[in-house]
Chain A
Amino acid sequence: MARVVVDVMLKPEILDPQGQAVQRALPRLGFAGIADVRQGKRFELELEGPVDDAALARIREAAETFLANTVIEDFTVRVEPSSAGGAA
């Protein structure tokens, strides 16, 4: 079964107070040297059929109209190489 990953992130110009809260917490927990944190969403779509151009086009359409709100978010679509060895 093929897996397609859609990553959704707030656009760079949109304030991300959740990411900021995480960034502020890191030094307190001893994780130094992290200048900025942005928080996003990851969708893992398991396809029933092959990952061909038509399938990817439909997924991009789903991302554009539903998974992301393009007023505030950007998205990327990528095919995850099938891991024959199962979950690593």
Chain B
Amino acid sequence: MTARIGVVTFPGSLDDRDAQRAVRLAGAEPVALWHRDKDLHQVDAVVLPGGFSYGDYLRCGAISRFSPVMETIIEQARGGLPVLGICNGFQVLTESHLLPGAMLRNESLHFVCRDQRLRVENVDTAWTVDYTPGQEISVPLKNGEGRFTADPRTIDELEAEGRVAFRYLDVNPNGSINDIAGITNAAGNVVGLMPHPEHAVEPLIGTGGTDGLAFFTSILKRLVNA
């Protein structure tokens, strides 16, 4: 029996199908979850995909955070359910306070879309065990509000505890503090990042590489060995 990985669709989600495809390519079973459904249908992990949920009204992720499905996800994530937030999903996780900090308009004020190099700095999370420490990967990045920020004490804490999971290399595309591209919670089950690993899982699309696939094989390995 393989792992069941839920992918939430909010109104305005764009990358839910790509995330489902990545889950399938990694060998797990994708399960579509609907924002109005509190029931997680016995999934073993959840992906919050990219897009513009609820039109990014108010703030990115601010309205999604109060959706029925998120009530259940927030409760279960606190109990250890693995959750990966990609781009808009990362914004939902910070708005939910499952991850610290917040996302702001890019420093340049431009929407940025590029192949982005990253360094994987924490390979102990549920979503990164299949990477090697310090591994450099290339995945697509596309955001207008990706400038990660937090108060200095939170940043110090994230750095000291090794909770900066991914850092931008070459270019800081949005002005994020300390080149932070993604972070993990202290337990390592909740991970969020702005770049899109689900767009880099097969040679024909995205960067042409498969650098993102290890997110999805990592969670599968974690769940099967659990």
Give the B-binding residues of A (Cβ under 8 A): 10, 14-15, 17-18, 21, 66-67, 69, 71-72
A and B contact pairs by CB, cutoff 8 A, 10 listed:
A10-B104, A15-B104, A15-B175, A17-B108, A18-B105, A66-B66, A67-B58, A69-B62, A69-B102, A71-B150
> A14 and B105: CB pair below 8 A?
no
Interface contacts (Cβ under 8 Å), in number, total 32
> Contacts A15-B175, A66-B62; is A72 near B108 (CB within 8 Å)?
no
Shortest distance between the CB of A78 and any CB in chain B (Å): 20
Give the A-binding residues of B (Cβ under 8 A): 58-59, 62, 66, 94-95, 100-102, 104-109, 149-151, 175
| Residue in chain B with minimal CB distance to A11 | B151
Q: Name the A residues within 8 Å of B102 (CB-CB).
A: 69, 71-72
Q: Name the B residues within 8 Å of A72 (CB-CB).
A: 102, 104, 149
Rounded to whole angstroms, the CA-CA distance of A41 and B108 in the bound complex is 21
Q: Name the B residues within 8 Å of A71 (CB-CB).
A: 94, 100-102, 149-151
Across the A-B interface, give the 10 residue pairs with the lowest CB-CB distance, nearest first. Answer: A71-B102, A72-B102, A17-B109, A69-B102, A17-B107, A69-B59, A17-B105, A21-B109, A18-B105, A72-B149
Q: Name the B residues within 8 Å of A15 (CB-CB).
A: 104, 107, 175
- Further 15 A-B residue pairs, CB within 8 A, beyond A15-B104, A17-B106: A14-B104, A17-B109, A18-B105, A18-B109, A21-B109, A66-B66, A69-B59, A69-B102, A71-B94, A71-B100, A71-B101, A71-B149, A71-B150, A71-B151, A72-B149
Shortest distance between the CB of A39 and any CB in chain B (Å): 10
Q: Name the A residues within 8 Å of B175 (CB-CB).
A: 15
Q: Name the A residues within 8 Å of B107 (CB-CB).
A: 15, 17
> B149 and A69: CB pair below 8 A?
no
Q: Name the A residues within 8 Å of B104 (CB-CB).
A: 10, 14-15, 72
